[in-house]
Amino acid sequence: MRYQQEIRDETNQHSRDGRRGDHGYANKGSVRRWWLMVLLVICILFSQAPVLYGKFTLLKGNLLTNPLMIIVVSRSLSLIFMIVCVFGTRNTKINFSYSPLSWIGKNKGFTIVGAIALPIVLVVADILLLHIFCRLGISSSDGTIRSDISTGTTILIVQSFLIVIAVPFVEEIFWRGHVQNVLQKIFNRPVAIVAQAALFALFHLRGFAGGLQVFISGLILGIWYDWKRTLLPLIVAHMIFNSLHFVRLWSMHLELQKINATQDCRALIEDLCIPSDYSDEENARFYYERAYGLLVEMPGMLSPSDVTVWPTEVPDEKLTLLRQWIYNNRNALAEFEEGSKKPYHFRKYREQPFFDFFTPLNEKAPTIISLLVSRAQINAVDGDFESCFSDILTCYRYSQHLAAPKPFNEQLEGIASKYNITLAVFRILQRTKASSAFLEELQSGLEAIFQGEKIPIDFSTDRLIFRGLIKRIFTDDGTGNGRIHRAFFNSRREPNSYLLQLFELQHDRKQQRQWWDLERSQTVQATEHVFLYLSSIQNCTPSQLNHKGMDVWYSIKQLAQNNIFVLVMTEDFVANYSFAYHCKAYREALIVTVAIMRYWYANGKLPDGLEQLIQTNYIDLLPIDPYSDEPFIYKKRQKGFLLYSVGPDFNDDGGSRGDSNLNMKGEDDIFWPPAEEYEGATRDQPL
């Protein structure tokens, strides 16, 4: 045909130029190829920029936060940019396009055969790949969920037109008719076919398995175009192939209409959490958000361990860098401190995406807490206990802002912050000589912050969140029955990457298959039974549960009736419940420790017993050990004193030190002296 003859003619021309030794012409051709390469890269990036922007800025995890922008606007812009690139570069001085676009070709019979055969070849190749992926245990789904609940019928209709009609038409012109032609001028025919298929797959952003499927399709279409130079069969095949995908998508959309989430749990959660006297002026949220916006990132030479370690153990150059980083964040820390002085922190849950309930509150908050802890330690070493005291209370006030009633992810962040600052304060008391005035202010501040706190953890908001989650992932046939929507599964009826991430599922094939068989009514019933049980025990200390012979996890498993949804979603509740009481014990033991130190500074000796602290007005009421329902155990030693809890084994092991993270049997939780040995401890410290 004419196009094959043109290729041979240009190849022969280049060969003759090389034999003549016309180096000037050869160099000119080399420069021309480089220009083609640069312009081709610019065209590809320009045309794919809207899709890339949507993928990396409007896609949160695997959830489309703005379906209209990603599905319609960014895709439409990309198609327009492709057309601009194709027809805007065809008449450039360097002859950017190789040959005119041919739609049907001279042999119409081949065109008809191609329009019939190519879709069949594409479908067969895709089925074979899916079979191979299934045998190898590879998921071909990218796990993208279209939106919080549904993209809506209107958007799906527009998307159908784009993907079934517009995309095949424009993409074949761009990738085969334009990109493959230009690549053929730069390299050769085999390289051009493979390269355009690779680029075609790369910019579809489908992951490994999905990308391989797109690559094979692009390879098949590229081979046909190189052979017959006709676009119409490619467009028809592409349309038919995409339409088969949309048959499944429409089927899933119709099933999605059976999801009934009309009663929004976010409104109920907001009503449960909102303070009775709420006003924007008293909300710490706005101060915290300004602090996050002002936060300066950690210098590359510092590591997280450099921030939390005791200042005298940090090399001088890193300590200087740490001080500078803290100074650079003075405005962010000042905003954070002002926010902590507000009476409450409240988020408008109605306005946030539902699945934000399953993500950390803010990734910058732990960084600010670490900065405050580090600054408190540095100030303590420098002898500035007033500033040290201020930073400590800022951390505690922030943590208390996240106390119940709040969604579970917020409560856990607050509990973890309290625990970390408590360990830091114990370290400060051990390694410095705090003044009696500082100790008195610290104790008064802690007692004021935690006054009125009754329970360390609350499950009432999570009960509402669970209801909302069931409504969003289960279909509803109108009688309360249904199953998890197929959009959450891959081709092997196993949870896709989104569901795996949401529930933090393990790659256990047998366990994953159980999700497909879940029934809505049984899941709702089991969830309600579990949360009724949790609400009945959240006021009970671990000691009270032990006296009643209650095994929380065993009880949950019994109530869940082997429902994998309920078991997976609640398996961390027992550990979080234990951690909450563990942190509460440490925090209250800190108040007792400060009171003992104050007594020692005032009297030159340690009290004979904790009751003596009440008698001498150093403490109003002795905190209770949640693992014994009695006061913490206090023992005077030859040097200093011992303060500990019997720990989660509920037995007094005589002060045998355990690992506060592992909670091993046969060991106690030792509060004082802290676990770290410190050579700087002096006789002036009541160790």
CB 180 within 8 A of CB 228: no
**Structure tokens given for 81:** 């940019």
Q: How many CB atoms lie within 10 A of CB 345?
A: 25
List, for residues 461-486, the tens digit of each pLDDT value.
888 888 888 888 888 877 878 888 76
**Structure tokens given for 530:** 């579990």
CB 502 within 8 A of CB 355: yes
In this prediction, the residues of the chain whose per-residue pLDDT falls under 50 are: 1-4, 6-26, 94-95, 97-98, 143-149, 660-664, 677-683
- Of 533, 523, 528, the C-alpha closest to 562 is 523
- Spatial separation of the C-alpha atoms in residues 404 and 323, rounded to whole Å: 35
- Please return the burial class of 35, using the count of CB atoms within 10 Å of its CB with bins 0-12, 13-18 and 19+: middle
Q: How many CB atoms lie within 10 A of CB 160?
A: 16
Q: How many CB atoms lie within 10 A of CB 361?
A: 20
- Give the β-pairing of 641-645 and 669-672: antiparallel
Write the single-letter amino acid at 389.
Answer: F
- Spatial separation of the C-alpha atoms in residues 523 and 470, rounded to whole Å: 8
Residues 6+ apart with CB under 8 A from 37: 186
Instruction: Please give the pLDDT value at position 493.
Output: 53
Give whole-number Cα distances, 242 to 143, 160, 239, in Å: 18, 9, 5
β-sheet bridge partners, residue 60: 63
- Of 378, 356, 375, 358, the C-alpha closest to 367 is 375
Distance of CA 326 to the CA centre of its chain: 27
CB 557 within 8 A of CB 594: no
- Spatial separation of the C-alpha atoms in residues 45 and 509, rounded to whole Å: 40
- Spatial separation of the C-alpha atoms in residues 356 and 367, rounded to whole Å: 20
pTM beyond 0.75, yes or no? no
Classified as helix, coil or strand, 506 is: coil
- Spatial separation of the C-alpha atoms in residues 614 and 356, rounded to whole Å: 46
CB 122 within 8 A of CB 233: no
Instruction: Please give the pLDDT value at position 478.
Output: 76
Instruction: Please give the pLDDT value at position 108.
Output: 76
Is the peptide bond preceding residue 190 cis, with omega within 30 degrees of 0? Answer: no
- Spatial separation of the C-alpha atoms in residues 359 and 113, rounded to whole Å: 53
CB 667 within 8 A of CB 647: yes
Instruction: Please give the pLDDT value at position 499.
Output: 60
- Spatial separation of the C-alpha atoms in residues 429 and 593, rounded to whole Å: 9
- Give the β-pairing of 641-645 and 630-631: unpaired
- Of 276, 250, 71, 260, the C-alpha closest to 166 is 71
Write the single-letter amino acid at 395.
Answer: C
Instruction: Please give the pLDDT value at position 378.
Output: 93
> How many residues make up the chain in this entry?
687
β-sheet bridge partners, residue 489: 495
- Spatial separation of the C-alpha atoms in residues 130 and 226, rounded to whole Å: 27
> What crossing angle do the helices spanning 385-401 and 436-449 adopt, rounded to 10°?
10
- Spatial separation of the C-alpha atoms in residues 610 and 619, rounded to whole Å: 9
Instruction: Please give the pLDDT value at position 144.
Output: 46
- Of 296, 594, 624, the C-alpha closest to 435 is 594
Instruction: Please give the pLDDT value at position 137.
Output: 66
Is the peptide bond preceding residue 360 cis, with omega within 30 degrees of 0? Answer: no
- Please return the burial class of 20, using the count of CB atoms within 10 Å of its CB with bins 0-12, 13-18 and 19+: exposed
- Spatial separation of the C-alpha atoms in residues 252 and 101, rounded to whole Å: 38
